[in-house]
Structure 1
């Protein structure tokens, strides 16, 4: 029988100490895993901002509607700004409007009305402006007809008859002008989608206006080759 010396661990005590150490190590590992799971993700210390907050847009409180007309006038006055600012804004608007009108009268396609845009319509205007049209007397004759209402009955009959004859000639010239315009447009722009009636009516309306009142302004003089 073997005797153990004092201070030397017995065979039964050594495994017990090892089991306790292994259990302590396993417990520490489980604690670390639990702590790692419970720890927040790096960089997520706050909730994800909304798109409005991210773009810097804040929705403030909506002002209540005015209760009286005086309060409404006061609120409009506050939103309009000072008198000097309103004068500056008004001057800028007038300058912009004048610039747009000048560009439109000059014939810049971007500033024209939809009916006047395009190379086909510009070509039609040049054809009309390069001719001396009897249809251009339409507006002066209309003014003369209005003035004849205050003349003597005998003069009224003469003026009315003369105007009827002139109207017949103007209608005939408008029909001839429409045919000329359509023929030349088909020669210059064979792929144009504008119909004959639309081009004829456009040329007639252009020719019936006084030359100084046409918009855009004429680019050619009467008699110029187009």
Structure 2
């Protein structure tokens, strides 16, 4: 409705202003709706670490084999998926790893020793045995000589007597060795849980072996003080 005191120019300006206001409000509402549409919804959980994501991509790790047959089956299946060159490389790496482990075991590295050789008490026992000239160390070469002698009828009786005497002397020397080992181990490692019999038997079995065949290798020479 046109009022008498308003001119046509004023009415036109008001209409333009109302139209611009309506357009601005519509533009603002459109921007708000567009922002809501582009907003990324929350995951509702923390972002996984890189290692966890890699593990998920790789899939679950199969449990270790429980039997030798299962281990052989897995090894065979793995070989079937590898080329000849790849199998040679894997075999060479395994061989190198075994040789390295054996060298470290023979040198007395505690990490690579067998369970029966581990511990400071066992190490001291080996050093005591290796520092002595044990009578039991002659058993293997002497046994070969006696076997040959027994085959000769004229020497059979004498060989049996010599064998009996040798066994008696070996038993006496082994008994002395066991007492020495237990006394020194108790002096230097009083908190050891090793029994006297087990230490004595361990010393005897090592003394029975030739020096070049002992494992781990001797770290002391005969006559050295331990």
TM-score class normalised by the smaller sequence: 0.5 to 0.7
For residue 127 of structure 1, what is the aligned residue in structure 2? 128
For residue 205 of structure 2, what is the aligned residue in structure 1? 205
Pairing of 1:3-14 with structure 2 (within 5 A): none
Deviation at residue 119 of structure 1 after TM alignment: 1.0
Pairing of 1:38-117 with structure 2 (within 5 A): 43=41, 55-56=56-57, 79-117=80-118
- Alignment deviations for residues 58-84 of structure 1 (CA, whole Å, 9 cap, x no partner): 69xxxxxxxxxxxx9xx9597241111
> Distance between the aligned counterparts of 1:78 and 1:188, measured in 2?
52
Q: Runs of 5+ in structure 1 lacking a partner? A: 1-41, 46-50, 60-71
Contact 2:79 2:87 in 1 (8 A): no
Deviation at residue 220 of structure 1 after TM alignment: 0.5
Residue 56 of structure 1 aligns to a residue whose secondary structure is helix
Runs (4+) off by over 6 Å? none
For residue 119 of structure 2, what is the aligned residue in structure 1? 118
- Alignment deviations for residues 85-129 of structure 1 (CA, whole Å, 9 cap, x no partner): 111111111111110110010000111111100111111111111
Contact 1:80 1:86 in 2 (8 A): no
> Distance between the aligned counterparts of 2:104 and 2:58, measured in 1?
39
For residue 153 of structure 2, what is the aligned residue in structure 1? 153
Deviation at residue 146 of structure 1 after TM alignment: 3.1
Q: Runs of 5+ in structure 2 lacking a partner? A: 1-39, 44-51, 61-72
> Distance between the aligned counterparts of 1:186 and 1:197, measured in 2?
13
TM-score if structure 1 supplies the norm length? 0.66
- Alignment deviations for residues 114-148 of structure 1 (CA, whole Å, 9 cap, x no partner): 11001111111111111111110111122223333
TM-score if structure 2 supplies the norm length? 0.66
> Distance between the aligned counterparts of 2:78 and 2:217, measured in 1?
42
> Distance between the aligned counterparts of 2:140 and 2:59, measured in 1?
60
- Alignment deviations for residues 156-200 of structure 1 (CA, whole Å, 9 cap, x no partner): 221221111001000011011101111111111111111111111
Contact 1:129 1:220 in 2 (8 A): yes
> Distance between the aligned counterparts of 1:171 and 1:180, measured in 2?
14
Q: CA RMSD in A?
A: 2.9
Change (3 A) 1:148 1:192: same
> Distance between the aligned counterparts of 1:152 and 1:56, measured in 2?
75
> Distance between the aligned counterparts of 1:133 and 1:212, measured in 2?
14
